[in-house]
């Protein structure tokens, strides 16, 4: 599957507290620090707020992070590693990562040099050490805190010249979670790397899926469908992957939706009532443990 390995030793750990610091969670723990798209600015007229999309993995590693989600971090948690999907401001904020004490940042190699410069500027302004910024090739795997992160291509564009957006296959034990944001569907190249390409006999199914649904039900003709997914897109992907046995979750497991746009969805309750099973809208602060 063209996957290269880079292992970070167990001594390079984020600051954690309680039982997790000693033993770590038995399963793959995901905390949603934010579940909104870029049009969320704070509490809206409905009294709801989705912070910009970000997750915390096993209380130790971030995928994307901005100032909006600082209040969603558990007390005492200061991750030292962060993986970025792309450089849009609702996902990428070097200064906020440095304020947490991040020492290792991972981005796709197409924009690594720019990220190094931006982290260096932010570090100078804050008076802190410049972190290591590593560029990852698609198919390359990094292990942080016993969790494996594989960078795969996303169908999404940015204004940075030459940048290719990514998403991540996150693996721990038998769990294989595809965290897919921002992306318009799942590209063939990504499916091949992850192991869910139905044309390949020796593929390896995923067991969990967290996917963006920037648009709600009925937005299939919206221009954003070229770079983002809708509820209908995700539902179709789940049907196909299930039918081809490329998605094999345990019974009752939900597919969590994130990156929901304020202007393209109703309230959380309305979204939850409208989406088909097994889809389920995530919300800020939600914690899910996949496996045991």
- DSSP of 210-279: EEE--B-TT-TTSGGGGTS-BHHHHHHHHHHHHHTTSB-PPTTPPEEEE-B-GGGS--HHHHHHHSPTTE
According to DSSP, residue 166 is labeled: E
pLDDT at 25: 56
pLDDT band at 101 (very low <50, low <70, confident <90, very high): very high
pLDDT at 2: 36
Average confidence (pLDDT) over 182-207: 94
Among residues of the chain, what percentage have pLDDT more than 70?
91
Cα distances (Å, whole numbers) of residue 129 to 87, 121, 123? 21, 11, 6
Instruction: Judge whether residue 18 has pLDDT over 50.
Output: no
What is the longest distance spanned by two Cα atoms in the chain? 53
Instruction: Judge whether residue 102 has pLDDT over 60.
Output: yes
Query: Which of 118-132, 171-185, 190-204, 227-241 is predicted with the least confidence, judged by mean pLDDT?
Result: 190-204
Average confidence (pLDDT) over 30-57: 96
User: Residue 103 and residue 20: Cα distance in Å, rounded?
Assistant: 20
pLDDT band at 75 (very low <50, low <70, confident <90, very high): very high
User: Residue 77 and residue 33: Cα distance in Å, rounded?
Assistant: 13
Residues 229, 235, 237: CA angle, nearest 5 degrees: 75
Among residues of the chain, what percentage have pLDDT more than 90?
85
Average confidence (pLDDT) over 96-108: 98
pLDDT band at 9 (very low <50, low <70, confident <90, very high): very low
pLDDT tens-digit map of 122-164: 999 999 999 999 999 999 999 999 999 999 999 999 999 999 9
pLDDT band at 78 (very low <50, low <70, confident <90, very high): very high
Residues 254, 21, 106: CA angle, nearest 5 degrees: 65
Average confidence (pLDDT) over 166-172: 98
pLDDT at 219: 80
Distance of CA 147 to the CA centre of its chain: 14
Query: Which of 55-69, 116-130, 193-207 is predicted with the least confidence, judged by mean pLDDT?
Result: 193-207
52: phi then psi, degrees, rounded to nearest 5: -60, 145
As a whole number, the mean pLDDT across the chain is: 91
- What sections of the chain are H helices per DSSP? 18-22, 94-100, 112-126, 188-194, 231-243, 268-274
DSSP strand pairing (5-7 vs 141-144): parallel
Q: Tell whether pTM > 0.85.
A: yes
Cα distances (Å, whole numbers) of residue 135 to 37, 61, 106, 251, 285? 25, 17, 6, 37, 29
pLDDT at 127: 98
User: Residue 31 and residue 25: Cα distance in Å, rounded?
Assistant: 12
Distance of CA 160 to the CA centre of its chain: 20
In contact, 102 and 81? CB cutoff 8 Å:
yes
């Amino acid at each position: 599957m063209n996957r290269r390995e880079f292992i970070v030793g167990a001594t390079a750990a984020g600051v954690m507290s309680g039982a997790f610091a000693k033993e770590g969670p038995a399963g793959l723990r995901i905390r949603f620090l934010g579940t909104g798209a870029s049009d969320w600015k704070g509490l809206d007229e409905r009294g709801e707020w989705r912070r910009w999309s970000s997750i915390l993995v096993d209380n130790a590693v971030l995928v994307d992070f901005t100032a909006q989600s600082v209040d969603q971090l558990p007390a005492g948690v200061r991750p030292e590693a962060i993986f970025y999907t792309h450089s849009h401001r609702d996902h990428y904020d070097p200064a906020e990562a440095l304020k947490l004490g991040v020492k290792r940042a991972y981005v796709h190699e197409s924009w690594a040099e720019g990220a190094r410069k931006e982290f260096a500027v932010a570090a100078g302004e804050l008076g802190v050490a410049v972190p290591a910024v590593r560029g990852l090739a698609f198919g390359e795997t990094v292990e942080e805190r016993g969790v494996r992160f594989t960078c795969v291509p996303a169908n999404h564009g940015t204004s940075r010249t030459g940048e290719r957006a990514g998403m991540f296959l996150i693996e721990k034990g038998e769990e294989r979670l595809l965290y897919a944001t921002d992306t318009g569907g799942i590209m063939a190249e990504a499916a091949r790397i992850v192991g869910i390409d139905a044309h390949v006999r020796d593929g390896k199914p995923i067991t969990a899926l967290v996917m963006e649904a920037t648009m709600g039900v009925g937005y299939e003709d919206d221009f954003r469908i070229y770079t983002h997914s809708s509820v209908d897109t995700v539902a179709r992907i789940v049907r196909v992957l299930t039918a081809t046995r490329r998605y094999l979750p345990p019974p009752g497991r939900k597919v969590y939706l994130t990156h929901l746009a304020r202007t393209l969805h109703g309230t959380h309750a309305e979204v939850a009532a409208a989406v088909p099973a097994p889809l389920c809208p995530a919300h800020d602060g939600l914690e899910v443990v996949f496996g045991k």
